[in-house]
């Protein structure tokens, strides 16, 4: 779409070979520790890609004002960082003939947060603005936090429902055993799970009776 | 009575659809040639479509909250249908109301987090329709929950 518009404007206004070079890089990237990140850079120029095309990548760490050069491609040769923080971790994966100056940053490190800037020159078309591509290292993979939040909330929900029904059940039982102590065997029909009520005389014996009933029930369940 | 029930049920279904569309549609932030939703960012450049999945922490929280609100709205619908047939005369639709209110709280939290944290290239991006739907769904869900609190089952 953009190309069509550009070509249309060229036809209408006449070719102006001294237009600036336009550089494209990827957006803000987030990557995991230890992963490989491809920093892409390409450009658009009115001239044919010359043999003297150059690509330069510089890196500015977060919070710092100084940037260092980490990559340079010129005269058909790619020169990668061999002294700085990225030594042995950069690889040129671009295709200069296709105007692609991408580099591959391998094995992301703890301190690799910063902004990578790509500058491409296509002589004699050298007027252009370098483009930046920030990189952030994320400690957590996509979806882990999502799953954790959903799991916790649903788990709490299930837990609350279970506790609610458990409480209702227990309260019913306690009420039942208390009223048995007062009314004897009147409410025996209400329960289908008990072998027989043990009528305690004091409230202090209610707990013992309840545990005794539980033992009877568990014995019955095992049968 | 039947009319009220039908109206409330219809409202509930509309809310559920709004929430699902808002969660799934790719239009929370739109800019020129680029739209973002909770799951992916899509960029149309001269090379074609680029997809990038969102890995930011706050986006994951927004994802989780939106999914939870859809789930809770769905649970409240099921609870409503269940309680419609099982509730005693004069009873309130308690579980339905609780789930619906939770759903509205979750949508509100999600929309607020997105508003505060959304990336600001303000020159190029504005909020898309899915974001608007989330904000619309929040008061609707809240009202629906309140209706369920007030509603009593007659027969």
Of A103-107, A175-179, A204-208, B38-42, highest mean pLDDT: A103-107
In CATH, the number for domain B1-28+56-153 is: 1.20.140.150
Q: What is the pLDDT of residue B120?
A: 64
Q: Please answer yes or no on whether B64 and A145 come within 8 Å at the CB atom.
A: yes
- CB contact under 8 Å between A142 and B54, yes or no, is yes
Helices marked H in B25-128: 57-86, 94-117
Cα A198 from Cα B138, distance rounded (Å): 55
- A71 and A93 both lie in a single domain: yes
Provide the CA A144 distance to its chain's centre, in angstroms: 7
From A78, A107, A138, give the residue that closes a domain. Answer: A138
Residues A17 and A38 in one domain: yes
> Number of residue pairs across A and B with CB atoms under 8 Å?
45
Q: For residue B53, which residues of chain A lie inside 8 Å, CB to CB?
A: 142
State whether A155 and A122 are in the same domain: no
Domain extent for A80: 2-138
Whether B93 and B119 have beta carbons less than 8 Å apart is answered as no
Whether complex ipTM tops 0.85: no
A3 contacts on B by Cβ (under 8 Å): 46
In SS3 terms, A105-122 reads as ECCCCCCCCEEEEEEEEE
Does a structural domain hold residue A188?
A: no
Q: Where are the domains of chain B?
A: 1-28+56-153
Are residue A68 and residue A129 in the same domain, yes or no?
Answer: yes
Whether B46 contacts chain A with CB within 8 A: yes
B98 shares contact with chain A (CB less than 8 Å): no
- Total number of domains constituting chain A: 2
pLDDT in tens, A83-122: 888 888 888 888 888 888 888 888 887 778 888 899 988 8
Choose the closest CB to B63 out of A140, A141, A146: A146
- Predicted structure pTM score: 0.55
């Amino acid at each position: 779409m953009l190309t069509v518009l550009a070509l249309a404007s060229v036809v209408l206004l006449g070719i102006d070979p001294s237009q600036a070079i336009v550089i494209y890089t990827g957006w803000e990237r987030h990557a995991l520790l230890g992963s490989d990140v491809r920093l892409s850079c390409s450009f658009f120029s009115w001239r044919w890609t010359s043999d003297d095309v150059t690509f330069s990548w510089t890196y500015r760490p977060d919070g710092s004002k100084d940037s260092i050069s980490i990559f340079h491609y010129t005269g058909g040769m790619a020169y990668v960082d061999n002294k700085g923080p990225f030594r042995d971790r950069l690889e040129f994966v671009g295709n200069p003939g296709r105007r692609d100056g991408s580099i591959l940053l391998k094995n992301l490190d703890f301190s690799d947060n910063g902004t990578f800037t790509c500058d491409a020159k296509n002589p004699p078309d050298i007027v252009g603005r370098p483009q930046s591509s920030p990189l952030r290292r994320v400690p957590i993979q996509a979806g882990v936090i999502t799953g954790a939040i959903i799991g916790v909330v649903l788990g709490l929900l299930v837990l609350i429902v279970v506790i609610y029904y458990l409480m209702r059940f227990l309260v019913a039982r306690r009420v039942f055993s208390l009223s048995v102590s007062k009314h004897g065997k009147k409410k025996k029909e209400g329960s289908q799970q008990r072998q027989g009520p043990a009528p305690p005389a004091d409230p202090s014996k209610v707990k013992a009776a309840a545990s005794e009933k539980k033992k009877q029930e568990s014995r019955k369940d095992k049968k | 009575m039947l009319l009220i029930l039908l109206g409330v049920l219809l409202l509930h279904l509309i809310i559920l659809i709004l929430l699902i569309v808002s969660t799934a549609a790719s239009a929370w932030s739109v800019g020129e040639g680029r739209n973002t939703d909770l799951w992916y960012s899509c960029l149309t450049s001269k090379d074609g479509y680029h997809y990038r999945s969102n890995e930011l922490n706050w986006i994951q929280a927004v994802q989780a909250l939106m999914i939870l609100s859809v789930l809770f709205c769905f649970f409240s619908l099921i609870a409503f249908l269940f309680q419609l047939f099982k509730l005693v005369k004069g009873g309130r639709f308690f579980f339905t109301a609780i789930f619906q209110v939770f759903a509205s709280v979750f949508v509100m939290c999600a929309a607020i987090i997105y508003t505060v944290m959304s990336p600001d290239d303000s020159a190029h991006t504005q909020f898309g329709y899915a974001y608007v739907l989330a904000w619309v769904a929040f008061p609707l869900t809240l009202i629906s929950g309140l209706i369920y609190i007030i509603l009593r089952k007659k027969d």
